[in-house]
Structure 1
Amino acid sequence: PDRKIPAVTHVFIHHTTGGQCSSIPACSIKLLGFQKDHIDKKWGDIGYSFLIGGDGKVYVGRGWNIEGAHTIGYNRNGIGISFIGDFTKDAPASSMLNAAKALIACGVKEGKIIKNYQLHGHRDAYNTACPGEKLYKEIKSWKNYRKI
């Protein structure tokens, strides 16, 4: 159900693990797989708010207005952006990083994310290696990154 939620205070970066995708058809197949997996886990739908494909495109999971299922304790006041792929050993393409930054800027401009939001990796809130070592190293240099 569409729940009008107030502007969020936190942005969490995740990675899906597994393979990357580099086209709309390939990324769409990945999204269907995530959707099935997350529904099987009783999350109702894809847990992430948005996903970033290797093609540099943003794919909508739950979007801005539906509470996610991505970070325990922060789903109500945060959005989850997941990079499709495993970024433990390899860094995401610059097109993926730019897409995520543009998405966050759009969220701030549209009043979906507060201006002084806090950016975190999933591992900052939960005992996990997510979003992978290389992606985590990258986001620690982004504006608004904070440890919890």
Structure 2
Amino acid sequence: MLLHLKIIGGLLLFLSLLHVFIPGHLDWKRDLKPLSLMNRQMMQTHMIFIAITVFAIGLLCFTSAEELTTTPLGRKICLGLSVFWALRLVFQFFVYSPKLWRGKRFETFIHVVAVGFWTYMTVVFYLAAGM
């Protein structure tokens, strides 16, 4: 389990760094331009804080895997993270439209990788929680 938590930690650290490229890939400069200043800055700020949160979870897993699996608080954190990533997996199927990825090679690849990653984290954190 420790190895899996460290793998998740490394992958989440990598994912957090990928957020640097999201605005350019999604052409936020053009797409966010019609939004009000408040909505535009809210989108940008939320994306930054998502990246920071993903980084923090990754750092926690990478540096404290043993504590996550051997302490009552760590197991509660793992249970919470399992629920969090399970909900993210649900959103992948029921909030994001298949029109965003279906028939598009790169987007379909990202969708499949995301489903696999969210599932992997849900299961690992659930098992780490001692459930």
TM class, shorter-chain normalised? 0.3 to 0.5
Greater strand share, structure number: 1
Greater helix share, structure number: 2
Normalization by structure 2: what TM-score? 0.33
Normalization by structure 1: what TM-score? 0.30
